Amino acid sequence: MYDVKEFYVNLPSDSSMNYFPSNTQSSYRTKLSAPLLLNGEWEVALSEISIPRNWFNVGDHNNSYTVLYEKEDIMVTDKFEHEIKISYTSEDVDAFWAALNRKAAKVIGNDKIIFEYDSQAATVELNIHKDVELHIAKESKSLYMAFFI
């Protein structure tokens, strides 16, 4: 015998009228073509029902359906420009990057943008939050940085 995990049974109300002549559409029994032996636990579900009748109490005034769904709206956010100015004397490079990080945290918030200077490799790594843009431009003799949130 096959190891059946699931199956469907159609049970129309008029399929066994020879065996059950008093069947009606709302109350009936059906003779199966073969016996069903269900051992153990089974889960039963009604997957479809058909009611072939007009219901006069369901008219255009109350025949409505509601569909619920989640919708994500795209929200346009304004960008705010923040200018960060620091004073720096050229004696200590580590002090420059520390001062720039402090000023950036004060103006736009902690962990939005962090410069990490590696004195051994003489490189700078920039960690920037996903909602922040950094625009760097040289204006006259000074370096201009604009942060957009």
Cα–Cα distance measured from residue 86 to residue 24, given in angstroms and rounded to the nearest whole number: 89
pLDDT in tens, the chain (149 residues): 567 777 788 888 888 889 889 988 778 888 888 887 777 788 877 777 766 666 566 566 655 556 566 666 666 666 667 777 766 666 678 888 888 888 888 887 888 888 888 888 888 888 888 877 777 665 555 555 555 55
Residue 14: what residue type?
A: D
What is residue 78's predicted lDDT score, i.e. its pLDDT? 65
What is residue 138's predicted lDDT score, i.e. its pLDDT? 57
What is residue 8's predicted lDDT score, i.e. its pLDDT? 81
What is residue 54's predicted lDDT score, i.e. its pLDDT? 61
Stated as kind and residue range, the H or E segment containing 103 is: helix 93-108
Burial 124-143 (b: 16+ CB within 10 A, else e): eeeeeeeebeeeeeeeeeee
What is residue 52's predicted lDDT score, i.e. its pLDDT? 63
A 10 A CB-CB count for 106 gives 10
Stated as kind and residue range, the H or E segment containing 123 is: strand 123-128
Q: What pTM was computed for the model?
A: 0.41
- Structure tokens of 2? 């096959």
A 10 A CB-CB count for 83 gives 9
